[in-house]
Structure 1
């Protein structure tokens, strides 16, 4: 038997709410980790942080092709500076927790 469209809409709305809640939990978790690592103290633009986070995600996935493909040859300085700052911030965060 087919579901009426109103039931499908209700289910979609419920699933969208669940998705929003899950994304909020994930964002809060990642934000807490980033703050512990000292990323909040880094004065850099959002685009450079986005590239650095994409590189980190690719590293954890083991996807080296993604990290290399996302780098812009003319923009290596900003990416490497951000990566260095993130790495040093992460190291500082690890020392304080140990």
Structure 2
């Protein structure tokens, strides 16, 4: 039995809402990670930031979603990280 077009439109609308929510969750996650990495404090043009994200995405796609080296733990912005840091 074929579905009426109104039912298909309703399903499409529900899927569009699900997509919107999924994209929002993904954007918030990536935004939080970017802020933790200190990107919020850097003056950078959107085009440059987009290019850097595209390079990062390509790197992860090439590595199958994993990097070949361990990722260091996140450090709070402004935290002492080097040998010249005051204790």
Fold match, TM over 0.5?
yes
Pairing of 1:56-71 with structure 2 (within 5 A): 56-62=56-62
Bigger share in helix: 1
Secondary structure in structure 1 of the residue aligned to 2:58: helix
Task: Output the CA distance in 1 between the equivalents of 2:47 and 2:27.
Answer: 17
Kindly indicate whether structure 1 or structure 2 has the higher relative contact order, using CA contacts under 8 Å at least 6 residues apart. 1
Task: Output the CA distance in 2 between the equivalents of 1:56 and 1:5.
Answer: 42
Task: Output the CA distance in 2 between the equivalents of 1:16 and 1:6.
Answer: 15
The TM-score, its normalising length taken from structure 1, stands at 0.65
Residue 44 of structure 1 and its aligned partner are, at CA, apart by 1.0
Pairing of 1:38-53 with structure 2 (within 5 A): 38-53=38-53
Q: Which has the larger radius of gyration?
A: 2
The TM-score, its normalising length taken from structure 2, stands at 0.73
Residue 21 of structure 1 and its aligned partner are, at CA, apart by 0.3
Q: How many residue pairs end up in the alignment?
A: 69
1:95 aligns to 2:78 (yes or no): no
Deviating beyond 6 angstroms after TM superposition, the runs of 4 or more aligned structure 1 residues are none
- Give 5+ residue unaligned stretches, structure 2: 64-71, 77-87
